[in-house]
Chain A
Amino acid sequence: MNEDTSVPFPEFWNWVQALPISEHIGFTWWFPLLESLHVLGVGLVVGSILMVDLRLLGKTALSIPASRMTRDMIRWTWGAFVLAVITGTGLFMTRASAYIENPAFQIKLLLLVLAGANMAWFQFRTLRGVEQWDTATRPPQAARIAGAASLLLWIGVIFAGRWVGHII
Protein backbone atom coordinates (compact mmCIF):
# COMPACT_ATOMS: atom_id res chain seq x y z
CA MET A 1 0.00 0.00 0.00
CA ASN A 2 2.78 2.35 0.97
CA GLU A 3 5.90 1.85 -1.16
CA ASP A 4 7.75 4.93 0.05
CA THR A 5 10.39 3.81 2.53
CA SER A 6 11.43 7.38 3.33
CA VAL A 7 8.59 7.55 5.86
CA PRO A 8 9.33 5.67 9.08
CA PHE A 9 7.00 2.98 10.42
CA PRO A 10 4.94 2.42 7.24
CA GLU A 11 3.19 -0.59 8.83
CA PHE A 12 2.14 1.51 11.77
CA TRP A 13 0.40 4.16 9.60
CA ASN A 14 -1.32 1.43 7.61
CA TRP A 15 -2.48 -0.12 10.87
CA VAL A 16 -3.80 3.25 12.10
CA GLN A 17 -5.88 3.91 9.01
CA ALA A 18 -7.29 0.37 9.04
CA LEU A 19 -8.69 0.83 12.55
CA PRO A 20 -12.51 0.69 12.67
CA ILE A 21 -12.67 4.21 14.10
CA SER A 22 -10.51 5.56 11.25
CA GLU A 23 -12.71 3.95 8.64
CA HIS A 24 -15.83 5.14 10.41
CA ILE A 25 -14.60 8.75 10.35
CA GLY A 26 -13.44 8.47 6.76
CA PHE A 27 -16.64 7.08 5.33
CA THR A 28 -19.31 8.97 7.29
CA TRP A 29 -20.38 12.52 8.18
CA TRP A 30 -17.87 12.36 11.02
CA PHE A 31 -15.18 13.60 8.63
CA PRO A 32 -16.86 16.92 7.77
CA LEU A 33 -17.97 17.31 11.39
CA LEU A 34 -14.40 16.92 12.67
CA GLU A 35 -13.09 19.12 9.87
CA SER A 36 -15.49 21.95 10.65
CA LEU A 37 -14.67 21.73 14.36
CA HIS A 38 -10.99 21.76 13.37
CA VAL A 39 -11.50 25.08 11.54
CA LEU A 40 -13.24 26.45 14.65
CA GLY A 41 -10.36 25.34 16.89
CA VAL A 42 -7.68 26.61 14.51
CA GLY A 43 -9.46 29.94 14.17
CA LEU A 44 -9.47 30.52 17.92
CA VAL A 45 -5.91 29.26 18.42
CA VAL A 46 -4.42 31.46 15.73
CA GLY A 47 -6.65 34.48 16.40
CA SER A 48 -5.94 34.54 20.13
CA ILE A 49 -2.21 34.08 19.52
CA LEU A 50 -2.20 36.93 16.98
CA MET A 51 -3.59 39.26 19.67
CA VAL A 52 -0.67 38.43 21.95
CA ASP A 53 1.84 38.65 19.08
CA LEU A 54 0.64 42.11 18.08
CA ARG A 55 0.93 43.28 21.69
CA LEU A 56 4.49 41.92 21.86
CA LEU A 57 5.30 43.74 18.63
CA GLY A 58 4.04 46.94 20.22
CA LYS A 59 1.33 47.36 17.58
CA THR A 60 -1.95 47.03 19.53
CA ALA A 61 -3.46 47.00 23.02
CA LEU A 62 -0.63 49.19 24.29
CA SER A 63 -2.64 50.22 27.37
CA ILE A 64 -2.68 46.59 28.53
CA PRO A 65 0.43 45.10 30.17
CA ALA A 66 1.97 42.37 28.02
CA SER A 67 1.87 39.77 30.81
CA ARG A 68 -1.83 40.43 31.40
CA MET A 69 -2.56 39.97 27.69
CA THR A 70 -0.79 36.60 27.63
CA ARG A 71 -2.54 35.53 30.84
CA ASP A 72 -5.99 36.57 29.53
CA MET A 73 -5.58 34.58 26.35
CA ILE A 74 -3.67 31.45 27.36
CA ARG A 75 -6.62 29.41 28.69
CA TRP A 76 -8.65 29.96 25.54
CA THR A 77 -5.68 29.35 23.29
CA TRP A 78 -4.96 26.00 24.99
CA GLY A 79 -8.61 24.97 25.06
CA ALA A 80 -8.96 25.64 21.34
CA PHE A 81 -5.61 23.93 20.71
CA VAL A 82 -6.85 20.76 22.43
CA LEU A 83 -9.97 20.85 20.21
CA ALA A 84 -7.79 21.30 17.11
CA VAL A 85 -5.44 18.45 18.08
CA ILE A 86 -8.23 15.98 18.85
CA THR A 87 -10.17 16.75 15.66
CA GLY A 88 -6.96 16.94 13.62
CA THR A 89 -5.87 13.52 14.88
CA GLY A 90 -9.24 12.08 13.87
CA LEU A 91 -8.86 13.51 10.36
CA PHE A 92 -5.26 12.28 10.12
CA MET A 93 -6.18 8.72 11.10
CA THR A 94 -8.45 8.27 8.07
CA ARG A 95 -5.50 8.36 5.66
CA ALA A 96 -2.49 8.26 7.95
CA SER A 97 0.03 6.81 5.49
CA ALA A 98 -0.88 9.35 2.80
CA TYR A 99 -0.83 12.34 5.17
CA ILE A 100 2.48 11.36 6.75
CA GLU A 101 4.24 11.55 3.40
CA ASN A 102 2.33 14.65 2.23
CA PRO A 103 4.93 17.47 2.07
CA ALA A 104 2.37 20.10 3.14
CA PHE A 105 1.50 18.01 6.19
CA GLN A 106 5.19 17.55 7.03
CA ILE A 107 5.77 21.31 6.75
CA LYS A 108 2.74 21.96 8.94
CA LEU A 109 4.10 19.66 11.67
CA LEU A 110 7.52 21.29 11.43
CA LEU A 111 5.99 24.78 11.76
CA LEU A 112 3.93 23.62 14.76
CA VAL A 113 7.06 22.31 16.47
CA LEU A 114 8.89 25.59 15.77
CA ALA A 115 5.90 27.61 17.02
CA GLY A 116 5.84 25.51 20.19
CA ALA A 117 9.59 25.94 20.72
CA ASN A 118 9.28 29.70 20.20
CA MET A 119 6.42 29.83 22.71
CA ALA A 120 8.38 27.78 25.28
CA TRP A 121 11.46 29.98 24.87
CA PHE A 122 9.34 33.09 25.32
CA GLN A 123 7.52 31.65 28.33
CA PHE A 124 10.58 30.41 30.21
CA ARG A 125 13.21 32.95 29.19
CA THR A 126 11.84 36.22 27.85
CA LEU A 127 8.77 36.43 30.09
CA ARG A 128 10.97 35.91 33.18
CA GLY A 129 11.99 39.55 33.18
CA VAL A 130 8.60 40.91 32.13
CA GLU A 131 8.39 43.28 35.14
CA GLN A 132 11.04 45.40 33.42
CA TRP A 133 8.95 46.02 30.31
CA ASP A 134 5.38 44.94 31.10
CA THR A 135 3.82 48.32 30.32
CA ALA A 136 6.35 49.37 27.67
CA THR A 137 4.68 50.26 24.38
CA ARG A 138 7.79 48.92 22.66
CA PRO A 139 8.79 45.64 24.29
CA PRO A 140 12.46 44.56 24.15
CA GLN A 141 13.92 42.97 21.07
CA ALA A 142 13.63 39.39 22.36
CA ALA A 143 9.89 39.83 22.91
CA ARG A 144 9.39 41.51 19.53
CA ILE A 145 11.26 38.71 17.78
CA ALA A 146 9.13 36.13 19.61
CA GLY A 147 5.97 37.95 18.52
CA ALA A 148 7.07 38.25 14.89
CA ALA A 149 8.22 34.62 14.74
CA SER A 150 4.95 33.42 16.24
CA LEU A 151 2.91 35.55 13.81
CA LEU A 152 4.72 34.15 10.77
CA LEU A 153 4.81 30.55 12.01
CA TRP A 154 1.08 30.41 12.75
CA ILE A 155 0.16 32.00 9.42
CA GLY A 156 2.41 29.36 7.88
CA VAL A 157 0.55 26.64 9.79
CA ILE A 158 -2.75 27.81 8.29
CA PHE A 159 -1.36 27.91 4.75
CA ALA A 160 0.36 24.52 5.05
CA GLY A 161 -2.75 23.04 6.66
CA ARG A 162 -5.00 24.24 3.87
CA TRP A 163 -2.48 22.98 1.31
CA VAL A 164 -2.62 19.45 2.74
CA GLY A 165 -6.00 18.87 1.12
CA HIS A 166 -4.80 20.12 -2.26
CA ILE A 167 -1.95 17.63 -2.47
CA ILE A 168 -3.60 14.48 -1.18
Chain B
Amino acid sequence: MKESVAAWLSGSQAQETAVFLLGNVPGLPPIAQSLHILGIAVVMSSTVMIHLRILGLAAPSQQISEMIGRLMPWTWWALLVNAITGLLFVVGRPNRYFFNPVFGWKFMCLVPAVAIALVIYRMNRREPGYWEHTAARVHSARAMAVVSLLLWIGVVLAGRWIAYTDYLYFLYE
Protein backbone atom coordinates (compact mmCIF):
# COMPACT_ATOMS: atom_id res chain seq x y z
CA MET B 1 0.00 0.00 0.00
CA LYS B 2 2.67 2.53 1.01
CA GLU B 3 4.85 1.35 -1.87
CA SER B 4 2.09 2.14 -4.34
CA VAL B 5 1.38 5.56 -2.79
CA ALA B 6 5.09 6.41 -2.87
CA ALA B 7 5.39 5.18 -6.45
CA TRP B 8 2.31 7.13 -7.50
CA LEU B 9 3.67 10.33 -5.93
CA SER B 10 7.17 9.87 -7.35
CA GLY B 11 7.43 11.84 -10.56
CA SER B 12 3.87 13.13 -10.27
CA GLN B 13 2.90 16.72 -10.97
CA ALA B 14 2.24 17.16 -7.25
CA GLN B 15 5.76 16.09 -6.36
CA GLU B 16 7.28 18.35 -8.99
CA THR B 17 5.27 21.28 -7.64
CA ALA B 18 6.28 20.59 -4.02
CA VAL B 19 9.95 20.21 -4.96
CA PHE B 20 9.80 23.40 -7.00
CA LEU B 21 8.18 25.37 -4.17
CA LEU B 22 10.59 24.04 -1.52
CA GLY B 23 13.58 24.84 -3.72
CA ASN B 24 12.53 28.19 -5.14
CA VAL B 25 10.41 30.05 -2.61
CA PRO B 26 12.99 31.79 -0.38
CA GLY B 27 12.86 30.40 3.15
CA LEU B 28 9.91 28.10 2.51
CA PRO B 29 11.35 24.99 4.21
CA PRO B 30 12.06 26.70 7.56
CA ILE B 31 8.82 28.71 7.32
CA ALA B 32 6.75 25.58 6.76
CA GLN B 33 8.61 23.78 9.56
CA SER B 34 8.12 26.71 11.94
CA LEU B 35 4.38 26.74 11.19
CA HIS B 36 4.40 22.97 11.81
CA ILE B 37 5.99 23.52 15.24
CA LEU B 38 3.53 26.33 15.98
CA GLY B 39 0.73 23.89 15.10
CA ILE B 40 2.29 21.32 17.45
CA ALA B 41 2.32 23.97 20.18
CA VAL B 42 -1.40 24.61 19.73
CA VAL B 43 -2.35 20.92 19.46
CA MET B 44 -0.17 19.89 22.39
CA SER B 45 -1.23 22.67 24.73
CA SER B 46 -4.95 22.41 23.96
CA THR B 47 -5.16 18.62 24.25
CA VAL B 48 -2.62 18.32 27.07
CA MET B 49 -4.38 20.95 29.17
CA ILE B 50 -7.74 19.21 28.71
CA HIS B 51 -6.22 15.85 29.63
CA LEU B 52 -4.43 17.27 32.66
CA ARG B 53 -7.72 18.88 33.72
CA ILE B 54 -9.55 15.56 33.31
CA LEU B 55 -6.87 13.94 35.48
CA GLY B 56 -7.25 16.69 38.07
CA LEU B 57 -3.71 17.93 37.60
CA ALA B 58 -4.27 21.37 36.06
CA ALA B 59 -6.65 24.31 35.92
CA PRO B 60 -8.91 23.07 38.78
CA SER B 61 -11.10 26.16 38.56
CA GLN B 62 -11.96 25.68 34.88
CA GLN B 63 -14.84 23.45 33.78
CA ILE B 64 -13.93 20.33 31.80
CA SER B 65 -16.89 20.74 29.46
CA GLU B 66 -16.14 24.43 28.87
CA MET B 67 -12.45 23.69 28.23
CA ILE B 68 -13.27 21.03 25.63
CA GLY B 69 -15.65 23.34 23.80
CA ARG B 70 -13.26 26.29 23.95
CA LEU B 71 -9.92 24.62 23.20
CA MET B 72 -10.61 21.77 20.82
CA PRO B 73 -11.65 23.85 17.79
CA TRP B 74 -8.08 25.20 18.01
CA THR B 75 -6.84 21.61 17.94
CA TRP B 76 -8.67 20.92 14.67
CA TRP B 77 -7.41 24.08 12.98
CA ALA B 78 -3.86 23.46 14.11
CA LEU B 79 -4.05 19.86 12.87
CA LEU B 80 -5.12 21.23 9.48
CA VAL B 81 -2.09 23.56 9.43
CA ASN B 82 0.14 20.64 10.36
CA ALA B 83 -1.38 18.45 7.65
CA ILE B 84 -0.76 21.09 4.99
CA THR B 85 2.79 21.98 6.08
CA GLY B 86 3.65 18.30 6.61
CA LEU B 87 2.23 17.21 3.24
CA LEU B 88 4.48 19.71 1.48
CA PHE B 89 7.49 17.67 2.59
CA VAL B 90 5.89 14.23 2.22
CA VAL B 91 4.73 14.96 -1.33
CA GLY B 92 8.09 16.50 -2.18
CA ARG B 93 10.10 13.49 -1.00
CA PRO B 94 7.69 10.54 -0.71
CA ASN B 95 10.38 7.87 -0.56
CA ARG B 96 12.08 9.58 2.35
CA TYR B 97 8.90 9.28 4.42
CA PHE B 98 6.97 6.25 3.21
CA PHE B 99 9.96 3.95 3.65
CA ASN B 100 10.90 5.44 7.00
CA PRO B 101 9.74 3.22 9.91
CA VAL B 102 9.71 6.18 12.33
CA PHE B 103 7.25 8.00 10.05
CA GLY B 104 5.02 4.94 10.40
CA TRP B 105 5.33 5.04 14.20
CA LYS B 106 4.35 8.69 14.20
CA PHE B 107 1.09 7.87 12.45
CA MET B 108 0.48 4.83 14.63
CA CYS B 109 0.43 7.32 17.51
CA LEU B 110 -1.30 10.16 15.64
CA VAL B 111 -4.34 8.27 14.32
CA PRO B 112 -5.54 6.89 17.69
CA ALA B 113 -4.68 10.21 19.40
CA VAL B 114 -6.89 12.12 16.96
CA ALA B 115 -9.60 9.45 17.31
CA ILE B 116 -9.63 9.85 21.10
CA ALA B 117 -9.75 13.63 20.76
CA LEU B 118 -12.72 13.31 18.36
CA VAL B 119 -14.61 11.02 20.75
CA ILE B 120 -14.03 13.38 23.68
CA TYR B 121 -15.11 16.37 21.59
CA ARG B 122 -18.16 14.82 19.92
CA MET B 123 -19.67 13.33 23.05
CA ASN B 124 -19.19 16.57 24.96
CA ARG B 125 -20.80 18.46 22.10
CA ARG B 126 -23.80 16.17 21.97
CA GLU B 127 -24.26 16.37 25.72
CA PRO B 128 -22.37 19.16 27.54
CA GLY B 129 -20.73 17.73 30.63
CA TYR B 130 -20.93 14.22 29.18
CA TRP B 131 -17.59 13.14 30.70
CA GLU B 132 -18.54 14.29 34.19
CA HIS B 133 -22.06 12.88 34.53
CA THR B 134 -21.44 9.30 35.69
CA ALA B 135 -18.58 7.58 37.49
CA ALA B 136 -18.04 5.22 34.56
CA ARG B 137 -17.65 8.12 32.15
CA VAL B 138 -15.24 9.91 34.52
CA HIS B 139 -13.12 6.77 34.66
CA SER B 140 -13.12 6.22 30.91
CA ALA B 141 -12.26 9.89 30.36
CA ARG B 142 -9.29 9.51 32.70
CA ALA B 143 -8.12 6.36 30.95
CA MET B 144 -8.41 8.09 27.57
CA ALA B 145 -6.51 11.09 28.93
CA VAL B 146 -3.57 8.95 30.06
CA VAL B 147 -3.41 7.00 26.78
CA SER B 148 -3.81 10.15 24.73
CA LEU B 149 -1.08 12.04 26.62
CA LEU B 150 1.34 9.19 25.90
CA LEU B 151 0.26 9.05 22.26
CA TRP B 152 0.77 12.81 21.72
CA ILE B 153 4.21 12.63 23.31
CA GLY B 154 4.92 9.73 20.94
CA VAL B 155 3.75 11.79 17.95
CA VAL B 156 6.12 14.65 18.79
CA LEU B 157 9.11 12.46 19.61
CA ALA B 158 8.67 10.22 16.56
CA GLY B 159 8.10 13.28 14.38
CA ARG B 160 11.48 14.69 15.31
CA TRP B 161 13.20 11.28 15.01
CA ILE B 162 12.11 10.88 11.37
CA ALA B 163 15.27 12.78 10.48
CA TYR B 164 17.46 10.57 12.69
CA THR B 165 16.73 6.96 11.71
CA ASP B 166 20.47 6.49 11.27
CA TYR B 167 20.75 6.27 15.03
CA LEU B 168 18.21 3.46 15.21
CA TYR B 169 20.65 0.87 13.90
CA PHE B 170 18.55 -2.01 15.23
CA LEU B 171 16.04 -1.23 12.48
CA TYR B 172 18.55 -2.31 9.87
CA GLU B 173 19.81 -5.50 11.43
**Contact surface of A with B, Cβ cutoff 8 Å:** 28-29, 31-32, 35-37, 39-40, 42-48, 50-51, 60-61, 63-64, 68, 72-73, 75-76, 155, 158-159, 161-163, 166
Contacts and interface: CB of A to CB of B under 8 A. Distances in A.
Contact of A48 (B29, B49, B164): B49
Interface residues of B, number: 35
A46 to B, nearest CB: 4
Given A159-B31, A162-B30, A36 B42 contact: no
Contacts of B40: 39, 43
Pairs of residues from A and B, 6 with the lowest C-beta to C-beta distance, nearest first: A47-B45, A36-B160, A32-B164, A47-B41, A29-B167, A72-B59
A102 B71 CA distance: 37
Contacts of A29: 164, 167-168
Interface string B70-89: 11000000000000000000
Q: Is the interface of A mostly helix, strand, loop or mixed?
A: helix
B18 interface: no
Given A39-B156, A72-B59, A159-B34, A46 B41 contact: yes
Given A43-B156, A44-B44, A61-B70, A162 B37 contact: yes
B66 A63 contact: yes
A43 B30 contact: no
Contacts, number: 94
Contact of A44 (B29, B45, B164): B45
Contacts of A60: 70
Contact of B157 (A40, A51, A68, A161): A40
Contact of B48 (A44, A46, A162): A44
A163 B30 contact: yes
Contacts of A73: 49, 59
Contacts of B134: none
Interface in B32-59: 33-34, 37-38, 40-46, 48-49, 52, 58-59
B9 interface: no
Contacts of B45: 43-44, 46-48, 50-51
Given A76-B49, A158-B41, A159-B34, A37 B59 contact: no
Contact of B41 (A50, A64, A163): A50
A85 to B, nearest CB: 16
A105 to B, nearest CB: 13
A32 B167 contact: yes
B62 interface: yes
A29 B168 CA distance: 8
B97 interface: no
Nearest to B61: A68
Contact of A36 (B31, B34, B71, B157): B157
